[in-house]
Chains A and B, each alone.
Chain A
Amino acid sequence: MIIAIPLDENKETVCVSFGRAPYYLFHNTETNTSETLKNPAAKASGGAGIQAAQFAADHQTNAFITVRCGQNASEVLLASGINIYKAAHAAVADNLKAFMEGKLEKLTHFHPGFHGGV
């Protein structure tokens, strides 16, 4: 199973921004290995949430752990069969541990976009 988490610049804590997080962590539970990749949507002029969700879907993600998630991004994730969970801790390691212990709740509230950009 592959778990995706948006990361802050420090690559250790969960970024509150779904679409514009600078990095994404992809953790493979079978091999117990992690990969940190630059988020291609971080500086998108628009539709960052959609592009970031696409990025996760393209990496065969099965579960997504995030602080929050917009409606458009959630549509892409859910349609791609990805389960979305709410981050319960600041540190990525704590969230992964909580997830493996079945302690993270599914995220059910998806906010309308912060699309001001125009």
Chain B
Amino acid sequence: MRIAVLSGKGGTGKTFVSVNLAAVARDTAYIDCDAEEPNGHLFFKPEQVHSETVYTMLPAFDAQKCDGCRKCVDFCRFNALAFVQGKPRVFPEICHACGGCSLVCPQGAVTEEKRAIGTVSQGMSGGIPVVTAILNPGEASAVPAIKAALRATDADAVIDSPPGSGCPVAEAVSGADYCLLVAEPTAFGLHNLRMVHELVTLLNKPFGIIVNKADGVYPPLEKFCADRRAPILAHILYSRKLAEISADGELAVRHSAELRRVFLGLWETVAAEAAS
């Protein structure tokens, strides 16, 4: 069973919800898929960490075989290839490693070479397996690192998704049995909730909503959820104390009995929903 935690923007509380949920769950790993800035390890401080390099493929062109027909350049929908002085040329950070250029080349002039784009690290934190996807700086796509992190363990897991609703998020969520959408009770929070709601609806995932940093009820968000029969599973109140605990790199469920009760209840609900 895998639970993905996502939100339309950064800073809403994905990692806060993910790490605390994983901390109260039993026999469940924590997989950080926010590969551009993975923070979950700061809370878990995993030990016996080992890392593996993540590779993607990059086309290489045999100048002897290439007759300059340009089919590869015209095929590339990502515009990762340019046709300069009669030869194709690849822009590595734009390439999505689809392999299409090697398929369409009539001369067999395109081969693929491995290129390192990031790492996946794995360690243990008091019985909780902690997996972290890390994208190398400057890389355009986190998708290969996220795929590798999700494959690194077969265990049940809480998946800490990247922010937004683009390709990396879709990848992080693709194998999830249930999605938790974290939203702030503000106009901006509602806007971002709409985006992730659209994504999980499109992917046909069961989901529930957590309103985080709630300092009161924001009626438009409540109405949005009610109109779509989108269940709000919890309102986590804005609290300076929780912020301080998190800023110290501590798991809030280990310092607040009240919050621990909230997350245990949340885990029970989510586990039942995901299993049904």
Which residues of A are at the interface with B, using a C-beta cutoff of 8 A?
41, 44-48, 50-51, 53-54, 57-58, 72, 75-76, 79-80, 115, 117-118
Contact B166 A54 (CB under 8 A): no
**B65-119, CB < 8 A from A:** 73, 76-80, 82-85, 89, 91, 93-94
Which of B85, B91, B166 interacts with A50 by CB under 8 Å?
A: B91
CB distance from A53 to the nearest CB of B (A): 7
Contact B140 A118 (CB under 8 A): yes
B167 at the interface (CB under 8 A from A): yes
Instruction: With A47-B79, A50-B91 given, name 17 new contacts (CB 8 A).
Output: A45-B77, A45-B78, A46-B94, A50-B79, A53-B82, A54-B79, A54-B82, A57-B82, A57-B83, A57-B84, A72-B94, A75-B91, A76-B82, A80-B84, A115-B93, A117-B166, A118-B141
Contact A41 B79 (CB under 8 A): yes
Contact B168 A50 (CB under 8 A): no
B residues less than 8 Å from A72 (CB atoms)? 91, 94
Output the residue of B82, B84, B89, B164 with the most chain A CB within 10 A.
Answer: B82
A residues less than 8 Å from B140 (CB atoms)? 46, 115, 118
Which of B85, B141, B167 interacts with A79 by CB under 8 Å?
A: B85
A76 to B87, CA, bound (A): 12
A residues less than 8 Å from B77 (CB atoms)? 45
Contact B89 A44 (CB under 8 A): no
Contact B84 A79 (CB under 8 A): yes
A44 to B142, CA, bound (A): 20
B residues less than 8 Å from A47 (CB atoms)? 76, 78-80, 91, 94
Minimal Cβ-Cβ distance residue in B for A50: B79
Q: How large is the interface on B (under 10, 10 to 19, 20 to 34, 35 or more residues)?
A: 20 to 34
A46 to B73, CA, bound (A): 14
A residues less than 8 Å from B76 (CB atoms)? 47
Contact B89 A118 (CB under 8 A): no
A residues less than 8 Å from B91 (CB atoms)? 47, 50, 72, 75
Contact A80 B79 (CB under 8 A): no
| Known contacts A46-B94, A72-B91, A79-B89; is-contact A118 B166 (Cβ 8 Å) | yes
Q: 5 closest pairs, A vs B, by CB?
A: A47-B79, A51-B79, A79-B84, A76-B82, A50-B79
CB distance from A101 to the nearest CB of B (A): 31
**B161-175, CB < 8 A from A:** 164, 166-168
A60 to B89, CA, bound (A): 18
B residues less than 8 Å from A118 (CB atoms)? 140-142, 164, 166-168
Contact A50 B141 (CB under 8 A): no
A75 to B92, CA, bound (A): 13
Minimal Cβ-Cβ distance residue in B for A40: B79
CB distance from B219 to the nearest CB of A (A): 32
Minimal Cβ-Cβ distance residue in A for B138: A112
CB distance from B6 to the nearest CB of A (A): 15
B residues less than 8 Å from A57 (CB atoms)? 82-84
B residues less than 8 Å from A41 (CB atoms)? 79
CB distance from B88 to the nearest CB of A (A): 11
Residue contacts A-B, CB under 8 angstroms, 19 given: A45-B77, A45-B78, A47-B78, A47-B79, A50-B79, A50-B80, A50-B82, A54-B82, A54-B83, A57-B82, A57-B84, A75-B82, A76-B82, A76-B89, A79-B85, A115-B93, A118-B140, A118-B164, A118-B168
Contact B85 A80 (CB under 8 A): yes
Contact A48 B79 (CB under 8 A): yes
B residues less than 8 Å from A48 (CB atoms)? 79
A82 to B168, CA, bound (A): 36
Contact A76 B79 (CB under 8 A): no
Minimal Cβ-Cβ distance residue in A for B82: A76
A57 to B142, CA, bound (A): 31
